[in-house]
Amino acid sequence: MNYIIFAVIAYLIGSIPFGLIVGKLGFKIDIRQHGSGNLGGTNSFRVLGFKAGLLVTVSDILKGTLAVILPQVFTDDVNAIIIGIFAVIGHMYPVFAKFKGGKAVATSGGVILGVNPLLFLVILATFFLSLFLTKYVSLASMITGVVAVVVTIIFQETGLLIATSLLTIFVFYRHRANIKRIINKTEPKITWM
> Which tens digit of pLDDT belongs to each residue from 73-86?
999 889 999 999 99
User: Does residue 1 register a pLDDT over 90?
Assistant: no
Q: pTM for the complete prediction? A: 0.94
- At 34, the pLDDT band (50, 70, 90 cuts) reads very high
pLDDT digits (tens, 9 = 90+) for 101-158: 999 999 999 999 999 999 999 999 999 999 999 999 999 999 999 999 999 998 888 8
Distance CA 181, CA 193 (A): 20
Angle at 146 between CA 170 and CA 191, to 5 degrees: 85
